[in-house]
Amino acid sequence: MLQREIGKGGNGVVWLANNSEGKMAAIKFLHSDYFGKQREARFRDEIKFLTNESNRLGILPRIDAYEPVVSTEEDRPWLATPFAKCFTDLELAGVAMLPELVRHIEAIAQTLVKLHDENKYHRDLKPENIFMLNDIPVIGDFGLVDFPEKEANTRDSEVLGSRNFTAPELEGDAADTPAGPADVYSLSKTLWVLASSKKFPPPGTLHIDIPQLRFSNFCNHPRAGILDYLLERGTNHDPLKRPTMGDFARELSEWLNPPTTEALKTDLTALSKEYETVFLVADRAKRNRDELIAAAKAILVSFEPVLKQIATRLKDCTKIETYVGNAYDLEIHQYIQGFRGVGLVSRDTKGVRVTIGKDWAVFLQSFVQVEALEDDTIRVVAGHIVETTAHGSRFCGVPPVWINKTTAPRGSAQLANESKTFQAGLLNNLNPAITAFGESVKKLPQ
């Protein structure tokens, strides 16, 4: 039984209804102006898509639908889905709600990852098309969906989607444009809007060097600055420079799950303030390079307290003066451009080293190496190595006692999390390193 009108969309009107058991549903009726036209074809596509996806978690499911052979005022198509609460009706803005909002968007992104793997794309993501159903975030309104079995009904040069949520490539030639990056763009704008409580996002790329576009300017969460970088990448004008939906979901998951291992804290808020003036430099290309190098140096600096602890422990254990400064003999651990074609921007190291012997000698080096790469990623290598030298020549092929490495986007939660994990790893693996050092010293010629 129809109760009342609850909304209007691009294709028609939505009514609230219930059955004899009191179960509520939302029924969408196609507007008569679109009978026999492109929008009716899209309405039927949506019904077909939801019929095929009836068992997929994360999608607002089809309860029932009706498709007449010929649509008329008295016999029009309709689609029924469960009555669910739209994200626009949830209180998700502000600092306290940011973790919950990110959890919801991460769940939406994971659903989209599975769809993208099957070449299925929403193409109209926005807060009005995301819902909560039985406490699970779900995606609805697939009126612009694209999927392999669909018959082409997007006109050449047609503009799809909603104002400021739509990726620029869908505003030109949507019919022949891969829509995966466009979904990332729209979901980035959706996160920005829901966290800021604004009705619409700013147009174009969410540049972090413009305060009015920064996510963290509207949500002063201590770790909001990390999301600034993700949303800038997610709304890049060039689709090829955006993260995939899998990368986007993974970064949100990293943000939600900082490492629980004991490690020193890095004040990302203070770091953001420290480099704010750099963000305002006029030359964008130089600024990007400067920001990348500065971010790499900040990662390196974050390891200094750990290396100082290691130096103290080594001196106490070996009774030998330790060297603290640049790390050496790391050639095999350095980045090589190779087939990736991504150049090296900067490389810097810090290490603690203790050496016993002269002509024949053994050294233990605890180190971190940080490299900034041209694709806006940062490579971090940290570890303990023990090697023997004879008259200044090193023995090749000696495996490190412990080593770990990662390459992650600048400013990402993944990079912050793994850096903290590496710091804890240096401390946790120091005892095995000292043991290996001692055993190697025993083998030195007398």
- Residue 263 falls inside a structural domain: no
- For residue 392, being part of any structural domain is answered with yes
210-218, Cβ contacts within 8 angstroms, sequence gap of 24 or more:
215/191, 216/272
Higher pLDDT, 299 or 55: 299
What band does 262 get if pLDDT is binned at 50, 70 and 90?
Answer: low
Boundary residue ending a domain (39, 57, 83): 83
Which of 287 and 87 is assigned the larger pLDDT? 87
Q: Which of 187, 197, 60, 80 is nearest to 136 (CA)?
A: 60
Find the radius of gyration of the CA atoms of the chain: 28
**Sign of torsion over alpha carbons 356, 362, 368, 370:** positive
Q: Which of 65, 83, 101 is the last residue of a domain?
A: 83
pTM of the model: 0.76
In a domain, 52, yes or no: yes
DSSP class per residue in 211-262 = GGG-GGGT---TTHHHHHHHHHHHT-SSGGGSPPHHHHHHHHHHHH----S-
Nearest partner of 210 among 287, 271, 299, judged by Cα: 287
> Which tens digits make up the pLDDT trace of 361-399?
899 999 999 999 988 999 999 999 999 888 767 765 567
In a domain, 376, yes or no: yes
314 and 352 part of one domain = yes
- Domains in the chain: how many in total? 3
**Residue type, position 84, single letter:** A
Contacts of 406 (CB under 8 A, 6+ apart): 379, 380, 414, 415, 418, 422
Is residue 282 very low, low, confident or very high in pLDDT (cuts 50, 70, 90)? Answer: very low
Is residue 216 assigned to a domain?
yes
Q: For residues 42 and 152, state if they share a domain.
A: no
**What confidence tier does 177 reach under pLDDT thresholds 50, 70, 90?**
confident
Q: Where are the alpha helices (DSSP H) in 275-412?
A: 276-279, 284-302, 304-318
Where does the pLDDT of residue 39 fall: very low under 50, low under 70, confident under 90, or very high at 90 and above? confident
- Do residues 194 and 241 lie in contact, with contact meaning Cβ atoms separated by under 8 Å? no
* CATH (domain of 20): 3.30.200.20
One domain for residues 359 and 437: yes
Mean pLDDT of the chain: 87
Give the pLDDT confidence of 130-176 residue by residue, as tens digits.
Answer: 999 999 999 999 989 999 887 765 554 455 667 789 999 888 776 67
Query: 3-class SS at 204?
Result: coil
State whether 335 and 226 are in the same domain: no
Do 337 and 363 fall into the same domain?
A: yes
- Identify whether residues 25 and 114 lie together within a single domain: no
Inside any domain, residue 329: yes
Domain boundary among 83, 114, 149: 83
Residue whose pair of structure tokens reads 């009836």 in the numeric block: 54
Average pLDDT over residues 236-262: 91
Q: How confident is the model at residue 278 (pLDDT cuts 50, 70, 90)?
A: very low
In this structure, the number of other CB atoms found within 10 A of the CB of residue 394 comes to 12
Tokens 């030298």 locate to: 389
Residue 323 CA, distance from chain mean position: 39
Position 349 in a domain? yes
pLDDT (0 to 100) of residue 281: 40
pLDDT at 276: 53
Query: Is the pLDDT at 197 greater than 50, yes or no?
Result: yes
Scored b (16 or more CB within 10 A) or e, 403-440 reads beebbbbbbbbbbbbbbbbbbbbbbebbeebbebbeeb
CATH number at residue 160: 1.10.510.10
Domain interval for residue 203 = 85-257
Angle at 348 between CA 247 and CA 297, to 5 degrees: 60
